[in-house]
Amino acid sequence: QEQLVESGGGVVQPGRSLRLSCVASGFSFSNYAMHWVRQAPGKGLEWVAVISYDGSNKNYGDSVKGRFTISRDNSRNTLYLEMNSLRTEETALYFCARARGSTWYEWPVYWGQGTLVTVSS
Amino acid sequence: QSLLTQPPSVSGTPGQRVSISCSGSKSNIGGNIVNWYQQLPGRAPKLLIYSTNQRPSGVPDRFSGSKSATSASLAIRGLQSEDEADYHCATWDDSLKGWVFGGGTTLTVL
């Protein structure tokens, strides 16, 4: 059964960094592109980043470009999101999601349960 | 402020038909497919409609999607209490070169 488990969330001060992880199981992780999507409390979804199946292509939402880095380790079936210079407005539940296919322009299909990031002093 | 505009809330009674709109522009809905996600309270989003009007396996045919010009719609017929959830539209934006989501619509079954 397909499963995505995010971790690494917590409370962090503004301007600091945090790295999120997402461990995949139940499907061939190395064959699929992967997304990060976040949801602020009581708000809608905001797409954050996507990475192609082999990590060769990455794309980011405008609000995180230059500060966040998406990466993956296919040998560990793990997706990462390195977040730098965090802002209070980035307090949100961060979801990882498997894409429909291997390329970075494929949409999110299956989602994990999310990990909560709270940016507060 | 999302590039895709959805009504914050809609409501209906059991058995009724409801529709949720998603308004965009030429750079997103106007030239690309639209997906819809259902998010039950406290749960992760689930893909409900893809490629504008296709249902993944297991999604009842009570749910349907459509698109006209720069707007898309999700229709739910034969409304049931378990349909109470948030619904999010999503599409690719050619200008941003990224995915965009609507602000989400909360469906209440009265």
The string of pLDDT tens digits covering residues A35-90 is 999 999 999 999 999 999 999 999 999 999 999 999 999 999 999 999 999 999 99
Cα B30 from Cα B52, distance rounded (Å): 12
Quick check: B1 pLDDT over 80? no
Phi, psi (deg, nearest 5) at residue A88: -60, -35
Chain-centroid distance of CA B26 in Å reads 18
Q: What percent of chain B has pLDDT over 90?
A: 95
B44 CB within 8 Å of a chain A CB: yes
- Distance from the Cα of A93 to chain B's closest Cα (Å) equals 10
DSSP β-bridge partners for residue A108: A99
- Candidates A6, A37, A45, A106: best to mutate against B (most CBs of B within 10 A) is A45
Q: Do B107 and B39 form a contact (C-beta atoms < 8 A)?
A: no
What pLDDT is recorded for position A105? 85
B42 CB within 8 Å of a chain A CB: no
Amino acid symbol at A71? S
Q: Do A107 and B2 touch (CB under 8 A)?
A: no
Q: Which residues contact B58 (CB under 8 A, 6 or more apart)?
A: none
Cα A9 from Cα A73, distance rounded (Å): 19
Q: Do A47 and B35 touch (CB under 8 A)?
A: no
Comparing C-alpha atoms, which of B1, B69, B63 is closest to residue B32? B69
Sign of the dihedral through C-alpha B43, B46, B48, B52: positive
Contacts of B7 in chain A (CB under 8 A): none
Cα B36 from Cα A2, distance rounded (Å): 20
- Distance from the Cα of A114 to chain B's closest Cα (Å) equals 7
Over residues A82-111, the mean pLDDT reads 96
Partner residue opposite B100 with nearest CB, options A47, A95, A100: A47
Partner residue opposite A113 with nearest CB, options B44, B50, B97: B44
Dihedral angle at the C-alpha atoms of B37, B49, B51, B74, nearest 10 degrees? -90
DSSP β-bridge partners for residue A116: A93
A65 CB within 8 Å of a chain B CB: no
Cα B21 from Cα B94, distance rounded (Å): 21
What pLDDT is recorded for position B84? 97
Q: Do B50 and A100 touch (CB under 8 A)?
A: yes
Mean pLDDT of chain B: 96
Quick check: A112 pLDDT over 90? yes
Quick check: A104 pLDDT over 90? no
A95 CB within 8 Å of a chain B CB: yes
Over residues A99-110, the mean pLDDT reads 92
Sign of the dihedral through C-alpha A109, B47, B89, B59: positive
